[in-house]
């Protein structure tokens, strides 16, 4: 009897319910096609034209938009700013998130649940609200930061943080780190809790301290997760810096805190240069995808 | 014995060191928000004296002005409407799709799954101009349900990524047992798979609703009619206005009003969310 039943099951599993699969997969994929894939390819095509928001007489102009891009000093500035953010924000965010996750997951502090909630909280707030609140943290006269500096006697350091070309971008970086750390921390906690306690116990018996455990057990076992979160953080930095730059500084002063997507928005919706904006879109998308591929490869090679 | 005592003392010292560090981080994480809340009760004169000082009295009229001078209430309603529609679309579309892609091998199943994995990196913000043109061509600008469908679609890759991890971890045995009992695929999906992957589905719902509630760039482009704008857009507009009108009190009050629903949802859903994430991590 038994083998027969098994055969039946195998038979059934091989035959696919075609109708069911179509109903489940096709509508979803159709939506993705309409609202993700087609627009992406459209961006690719339009980046080779001189389309404007008025939609009149768009002509194929080849790679001219791309050539112009690197002569456009404001584009180059936006690119540099974005690269600066990408160089520091994901690394700091992930490092902080790992340390905090390790403490919460491994320490015996009674209140660790509270820390988890508290650190995760900034992440759920609307980025617009975050931007506005942090604009006031950095506000020259009534901001928390300057009041604090004045309070501890460092009047010299106080300045108009968002209005200064040398600091505006770093204000955005700090805000990005502040709001993202908790999110990646929760992801890391989930992965760390998945590591069997026996390994840690064995390490404790061998006399390993917490820092030793972090570097020789937790991090190697979490390589894949860290790779994924790092890529997410890179992509997130490009993406989220738009809202912060738009709301906190408007890209100013004089482009000092403009980022790629913010410049794209300006070119597209304020100047109406759809073709050129699209070239910036494609460029940004390429950076994001290439970077994610590189870091995926790196994490795969190490393991 | 002595070394034991010593190491215990050392451990206690370490614990306090760690605790002080964690408390410091907590202050950095929460103080800007707490400052925002108590400052919303300050009068505009108090704002200019000392940033840290507590308000003298409670200036409720900040809140009255915040509601009066902005479209805050309609903004909240629009955002809520969009979140609800987004969630429905995700549940109806993404869950069955993931199930089929993970459980059945058919022509193109691998390709579609790979397309979704690649699409995780195509954020709506990146393609907002072609999206704008697409919506414009379909006459769907300033249309809230359409924006919600768009949000849901942009969440599909992530939702499918997260759910596929969950679904793969469910042993085939349950489905086989149900099949022997004569269940068709749709009943298996609804009565076996959905209940078993509930933590994953809840996590996807939480994350998607948060991101739809908070989304700024695409809404900025798609919704130009002020009666249809969502909360983030409304707040950004209010900030633009109040930054020159210098009615800080009203602005801070509006921010607090915007925070309240998020806090409530978070406190209710937090446990589910983190549990779901934990389960996802455990099951790989």
Question: What residues does each domain of chain A span?
Answer: 14-46, 65-302
Residue B65 has which token pair? 């002005």
Kindly state whether B31 is in contact with chain A, defined as any CB-CB distance less than 8 angstroms: yes
CA angle A21, A27, A28 (to 5 degrees): 90
Q: What is the pLDDT of residue B274?
A: 66
Nearest CA in chain B to A272: B129
**A199-232: burial string, b at 16+ Cβ within 10 Å, e else:** ebeebeeeebebeebbeebbeebbeebbbbbbbb
Confidence (pLDDT) at B156: 92
Chain A CB within 8 Å of residue B221 CB: yes
pLDDT by residue for chain A (303 residues), tens only, comes to 455 555 555 545 557 788 888 888 899 999 999 999 999 898 888 888 888 877 667 788 888 889 888 899 999 999 999 999 999 999 999 999 999 998 988 877 788 888 988 898 888 888 999 999 999 899 887 788 888 888 887 777 777 888 888 889 999 999 999 999 998 998 888 888 878 788 888 888 888 777 888 888 888 888 878 887 888 888 889 889 999 999 998 887 888 889 999 999 999 998 888 889 999 999 998 888 887 777 667 666 554
Is the complex ipTM more than 0.95?
A: no
Question: In which band, very low, low, confident or very high, does the pLDDT at B121 lie, cut at 50, 70 and 90?
Answer: confident
Q: What is the pLDDT of residue B281?
A: 40
Query: For residue B233, what pLDDT is reported?
Result: 92
Residues 6+ apart with CB under 8 A from B83: B148, B209, B212, B213
pLDDT at B2 over 70: no
At the top level of CATH, the class of A65-302 is: mainly alpha
Q: For residue B6, with 0-12 CB atoms within 10 Å meaning exposed, 13-18 middle and 19 or more buried, which class applies? A: exposed
* pLDDT band for position B280 (cuts 50, 70, 90): very low
Among B33, B51, B94, B259, pick the best mutation site for testing chain A contact (most A Cβ within 10 A). Answer: B51
Tell me the residues of chain B between 123 and 142 that have a Cβ less than 8 Å away from chain A.
123, 125-134
**Nearest 10 degrees: CA dihedral of A228, A232, A234, A235?**
140
B107 in A contact zone (CB under 8 Å): no
pLDDT exceeds 50 at position B93: yes
**Cα A213 from Cα A208, distance rounded (Å):** 6
For the ranges A12-16, A76-80, B66-70, B147-151, which has the lowest average pLDDT? A12-16
Predicted local distance difference test score (pLDDT) of residue A97: 93
Question: pLDDT-based confidence at B147, cuts 50/70/90?
Answer: very high
């Amino acid at each position: 009897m038994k083998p027969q039943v098994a055969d039946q099951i195998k038979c059934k599993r091989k035959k696919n319910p075609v109708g069911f699969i179509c109903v489940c997969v096709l509508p979803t994929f159709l939506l993705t096609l309409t609202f993700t894939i087609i627009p992406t390819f459209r961006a690719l095509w339009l980046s080779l034209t001189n389309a404007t928001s008025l939609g009149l007489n768009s002509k194929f102009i080849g790679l001219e938009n791309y050539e112009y891009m690197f002569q456009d000093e404001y584009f180059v500035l936006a690119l540099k700013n974005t690269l600066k953010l990408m160089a520091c924000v994901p690394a700091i965010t992930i490092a902080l998130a790992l340390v905090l996750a390790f403490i919460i997951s491994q320490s015996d502090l009674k209140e660790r649940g509270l820390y988890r909630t508290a650190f995760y909280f900034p992440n759920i707030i609307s980025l617009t609200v975050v931007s506005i609140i942090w604009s006031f943290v950095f506000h020259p006269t009534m901001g928390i930061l300057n009041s604090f500096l004045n309070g501890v006697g460092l009047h010299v350091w106080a300045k108009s943080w968002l209005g200064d070309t040398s600091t505006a971008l770093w204000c955005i970086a700090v805000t990005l780190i502040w709001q993202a750390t908790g999110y990646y921390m929760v992801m890391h906690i989930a992965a760390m809790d998945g590591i069997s306690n026996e390994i840690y116990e064995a390490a404790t018996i061998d006399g390993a301290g917490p820092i030793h455990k972090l570097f020789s057990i937790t991090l190697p076992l979490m390589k894949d997760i860290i790779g994924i979160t790092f890529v997410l953080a890179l992509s997130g930095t490009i993406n989220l810096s738009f809202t912060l730059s738009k709301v906190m500084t408007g890209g100013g002063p004089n482009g000092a805190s403009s980022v790629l997507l913010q410049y794209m928005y300006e070119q597209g919706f304020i100047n109406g240069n759809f073709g050129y904006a699209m070239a910036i879109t494609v460029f940004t998308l390429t950076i994001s995808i290439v970077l994610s591929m590189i870091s995926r490869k790196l994490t795969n090679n190490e393991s | 014995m002595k070394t034991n005592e010593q190491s215990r003392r050392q451990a206690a010292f370490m614990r306090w060191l760690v605790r002080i560090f964690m408390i410091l981080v907590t202050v950095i994480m929460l103080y800007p928000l707490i400052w925002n809340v108590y400052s919303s009760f300050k009068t505009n004169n108090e704002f200019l004296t000392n940033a840290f000082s507590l308000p003298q009295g409670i200036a409720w009229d900040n809140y009255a002005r915040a509601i009066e001078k902005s479209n805050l209430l309609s903004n909240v309603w629009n955002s809520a409407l969009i979140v609800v529609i987004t969630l429905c679309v995700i549940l109806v579309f993404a869950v069955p799709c993931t199930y089929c892609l993970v459980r059945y091998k058919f022509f193109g199943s691998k390709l579609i799954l790979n397309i979704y994995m690649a699409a995780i990196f195509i954020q709506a913000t990146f393609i907002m101009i072609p999206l704008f043109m697409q919506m414009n061509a379909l006459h769907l600008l300033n249309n809230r349900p359409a924006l919600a469908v768009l949000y849901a679609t942009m969440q599909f890759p992530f939702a499918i990524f997260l759910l596929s991890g969950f679904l793969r971890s469910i042993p085939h045995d349950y489905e086989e047992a149900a099949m022997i009992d004569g269940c068709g695929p749709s009943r298996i999906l609804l009565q076996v798979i959905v209940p078993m992957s509930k933590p994953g589905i809840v996590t996807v719902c939480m994350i998607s609703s948060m991101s739809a509630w908070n989304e700024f760039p695409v809404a900025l482009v798609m919704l130009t009619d002020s009666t249809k704008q969502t909360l983030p857009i409304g707040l950004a507009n209010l900030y633009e206005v109040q930054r020159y009108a210098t009615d800080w009190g009203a602005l801070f009050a509006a921010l607090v009003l915007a925070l309240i629903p998020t806090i409530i949802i978070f406190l209710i859903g937090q446990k589910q969310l983190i549990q779901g994430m934990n389960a996802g991590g455990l099951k790989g």
